[in-house]
């Protein structure tokens, strides 16, 4: 598999340290994982949301994969729900992978029953394997 371009969906208020770990891993030239994780800091229903959504869609269309970091509040995040749903649209069709950051975290419904590839833990090799196994057959 060549280098992937992965859009990362995560709760920006709770799980940003995991994004920073991904960035540190990405700095390693042997790590075949490229990502963009620019995210919104406004409410999904605010007047600024359409501009942010357009920017996110542009990044998603440049990506091959969506990696969802399932944190404690992910299942209740309107932005994450939107990103997951948007990733599955015909003009985007990203391959889906996810990792739970805690065993008891609730999976966002958009990842269920759609063949999401799961990393068994937040470790570099597990995430790379989940991305390699990911499909867009939903």
**What is the C-alpha to C-alpha distance for residues 50 and 46, in angstroms, rounded to an integer?**
8
Map out the domains of the chain as residue ranges: 4-133
Q: Which of 52, 114, 59, 62 is nearest to 88 (CA)?
A: 114
- Residue 34: pLDDT band (50, 70, 90) is low
- Helices in the chain by DSSP H: which ranges? 16-26, 49-62, 78-87, 124-133
**4-133, which class in CATH?**
alpha beta
124-133 tens-digit pLDDT: 999 989 999 9
pLDDT tens track for 71-111: 999 999 999 999 999 999 999 999 999 999 999 999 999 99
Strands 95-100 and 33-36: unpaired
């Amino acid at each position: 598999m060549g280098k992937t371009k992965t859009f990362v969906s995560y709760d920006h208020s709770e799980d940003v340290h995991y994004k920073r770990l991904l960035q540190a891993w990405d700095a390693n030239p042997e790590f075949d994982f490229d990502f963009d994780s620019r995210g919104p800091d406004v409410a999904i229903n605010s007047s600024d949301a359409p501009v942010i959504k357009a920017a996110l869609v542009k990044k998603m269309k440049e990506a091959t994969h969506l990696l969802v970091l399932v944190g404690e509040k992910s299942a209740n995040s309107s932005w994450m729900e939107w990103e997951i749903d948007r990733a599955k649209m015909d003009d985007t069709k990203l391959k889906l992978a996810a990792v739970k950051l805690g065993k008891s975290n609730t999976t966002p419904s958009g990842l269920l029953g759609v063949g999401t590839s799961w990393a068994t833990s937040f470790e570099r090799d597990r995430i790379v394997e989940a991305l390699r196994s990911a499909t867009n057959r939903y």
